[in-house]
C-alpha cells in the first residue's frame, strides 16, 4: 500500500504542542481514510511535502517568496502521486531554490502542518497536509529563482518573523532554535 511509509513516519512522530497535535491527528485521519491522498486530483485536499533548509550552524533558513501567494515560505509542493514524501521535499527544494546538496538534519518528520489553500480559477478551496523535513545545506550554494518564486534567500532565523510571522513558520523557527540549544 502506497501510504504505509507515510503512516510509519507519522506513527513515529511526536508533535510539539496542542496546535500541531490537532493537525497531526487530522493528517493521520486524512491519510488513513484516503487511498489517493498523494494525488492533486483529490479535491478536498492532498499530502504535500516541504523542506525546511537551515545552514549547518542553524543560524539561517532558506525561504522563497512565493509568486502566487506573495509571501515567504519554505520550499515545498505537491506529491503528485509519489508516496516518498522525503524525496518529494528534496525535489521541491532543488526545483524551487537550486540547492541540491541537502543533508537530512534530523531523521523522520520535522513538522506537520495543515493549511487551507484558497479557491482559484483552477481549483476549489482545499487543504494541504504538509509533511516537513529539516535539511542542512551550505548557504553559499548558488540559488535560482523559478517561475514559482519572486525571490529566494537565506534569512537569519532570528529575522524570519519579519518575513512571515505565521504560526506555521514560527513553530519551525522555535524548533530550529531548540535544536541549536
Q: Which residue, chain included where needed, has cell 494541504?
A: 128
Q: Please tell me the distance from the alpha carbon of residue 17 to that of residue 39, in angstroms, as a whole number.
A: 29
For every residue of the chain, DSSP letters joined together read -TTHHHHHHHHT---SSHHHHHHHHHHHHHHHH-TTTT-TT-TTEEEEEEEEEE-TTSSEEEEEEETTTTEEE-SEEE-TT---HHHHHHHHHHHHH-----EESSSS-SEEEEEEEPP-SSS-SEEEEEEEEEEE--TTS-----TTEEEEEEEEGGGGGGT---HHHHHHHHHHHHHH-
The mean per-residue pLDDT over the stretch 83-107 comes to 96
Residues 110-132 have a mean pLDDT of 93
Q: Looking up cell 485536499, which residue turns up? A: 45
Q: Where are the domains of the chain?
A: 4-180
pLDDT of 1 above 80 = no
pTM of the full structure: 0.95
Percentage of the chain modeled with pLDDT above 70: 99
d(CA 42, CA 28): 16
pLDDT for position 20: 98
Confidence (pLDDT) at 136: 97
* Per-residue pLDDT at 147: 86
Helix (H) or strand (E) holding 24: helix 18-33
**Looking at residue 170, what is its pLDDT?**
98
Let me know: does 40 contact 55? Beta carbons within 8 Å: no
Q: pLDDT tens digits for 41-55?
A: 999 999 999 999 999
Predicted confidence band of residue 122 (pLDDT cuts 50, 70, 90): confident
140-177: pLDDT as tens digits? 988 998 888 899 999 999 999 999 999 999 999 999 99
Integer Cα distance of 46 and 139 in angstroms: 31
- Determine the CATH number of domain 4-180: 3.90.79.10
Sign, CA torsion 43/44/47/50 = positive
pLDDT at residue 5, as a whole number: 95
**Which pLDDT does position 67 carry in this prediction?**
87
Amino acid at each position: 500500500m502506497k501510504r504505509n511509509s507515510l503512516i510509519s513516519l507519522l506513527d513515529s512522530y511526536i508533535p510539539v504542542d496542542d496546535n500541531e497535535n490537532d493537525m497531526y491527528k487530522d493528517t493521520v485521519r486524512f491519510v488513513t481514510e484516503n487511498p489517493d491522498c498523494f494525488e492533486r486530483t483529490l479535491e478536498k485536499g492532498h499530502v504535500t511535502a516541504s523542506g525546511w533548509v537551515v545552514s549547518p550552524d542553524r543560524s539561517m533558513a532558506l525561504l522563497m517568496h512565493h509568486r502566487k501567494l506573495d509571501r515567504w515560505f519554505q520550499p515545498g509542493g505537491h506529491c503528485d502521486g509519489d508516496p516518498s514524501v522525503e524525496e518529494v521535499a528534496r525535489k521541491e527544494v532543488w526545483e524551487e531554490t537550486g540547492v541540491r546538496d541537502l543533508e537530512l538534519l534530523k531523521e523522520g518528520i520535522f513538522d506537520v502542518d495543515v493549511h487551507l489553500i484558497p479557491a482559484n480559477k483552477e481549483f476549489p478551496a482545499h487543504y494541504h497536509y504538509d509533511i516537513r523535513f529539516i535539511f542542512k545545506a551550505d548557504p553559499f550554494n548558488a540559488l535560482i529563482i523559478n517561475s514559482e518564486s519572486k525571490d529566494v534567500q537565506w534569512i537569519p532565523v532570528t529575522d524570519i518573523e519579519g518575513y512571515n510571522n505565521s504560526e506555521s513558520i514560527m513553530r519551525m523557527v522555535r524548533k530550529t532554535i531548540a535544536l541549536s540549544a
